[in-house]
Amino acid sequence: MGNNSLIGFIHNPLVPKAASLVKSLIQELGIADRSWVSQPMKMQVDDETLDSTSLIVTAGGDGTIIRVVDKVAPHGVPILGINMGRVGFMSELSIERAAERLPWYIDGNARVEERLMLEANAKLGTSSDTHVVAHGLNEIIVRGALPHLLDIDVTIDGARLGTYRADGVIVSTPTGSTGYALSAGGPVLQPEAKVMLIQPLAAHISMQTAVVVPDDSTIELEVVNDDEAVISVDNLTNATLRRGDKVMLKRSPYVGRFLRSNPPSTFYSDLTSRLGIQQRTTHHGHDD
């Protein structure tokens, strides 16, 4: 990365010591003259600054990254996460190693991992002007505004899959497969896989199977009963849906870009520990 390019630091104000960590990193690395600092919820960084930024470092958890990625993805800026949360599936560095390792990433040595994002286009009501367009890294969820069952028709590339009678339907990226979709019983997908996951949420006397489709598919969800529903994109963009409203989902033109020091296969060896599953130790050969 060029010496004239900017480095952005984004810290979650709800995470203790995140702001002080960012301040100390900038001072220790001597990059105050080529860095900017912001918070994810109040990210007021103009397009010109983002276009001149070669790297964004986040201090927080996966939620901090989720709040940042849709703003920076259109500018192609990679993200390097310092994990100050719990699971940290998308984070790369620990707090303890951040100062030591950051120069290696700043110097352009890391692998760039590209992750699929989703675009949601929701047509609300009869007016063609009333719609919501949003981009998400994790998932798009259509669920009841109140806890009740919905009937949601699912169409893939113009072919009707069927009706899910469920609390909702999740359409997830591989990144989101380790989030809400996993707790709903869905499979874990490798984060760089080029697929999308359709996962019912607590399905009731209907098709309960998740479906994995190619990333060039177009998925349409339609609420077909009278109960009010909501669409949620990464739990950030929300809008009300009513009977007949349709949500069109497809691959976003943007991707989430992350810096990695290890090969893609590291995801598998880290998976169980990140999920908090204790692995059984395997002994090879005979003990002395």
Q: Active-site residue 215, yes or no?
A: no
Run of H or E including 206: none
42 class by beta-carbon count within 10 Å (0-12 exposed, 13-18 middle, 19+ buried): exposed
Can you say how many angstroms the Cα of residue 21 is from the centroid of all Cα atoms in its chain? 24
Please state the length of the chain.
288
Q: CA-to-CA distance for 165 and 147, rounded, in angstroms?
A: 13
In contact, 239 and 170? CB cutoff 8 Å: no
Separation of alpha carbons 233 and 94, rounded Å: 28
Contact assessment for residue 164 and residue 226, using Cβ atoms and an 8 Å cutoff: no
Task: Return the residue matching tokens 């739990």.
Answer: 235
The C-alpha atoms of residue 178 and residue 269 are separated, in whole angstroms, by 15
Q: Give the count of beta carbons closer than 10 Å to the beta carbon of residue 223.
A: 24
| DSSP-assigned beta bridge partners for residue 250 | 119
The catalytically annotated residue of 33, 62, 157, 227 is 62
The answer to whether 92 and 277 are in contact (CB under 8 A) is: no
Following DSSP, what letter does each residue of 64-104 receive, concatenated?
A: HHHHHHHHHGGGT--EEEEE-SSS-SS--EETTTHHHHHHH
Residues forming the active site: 62
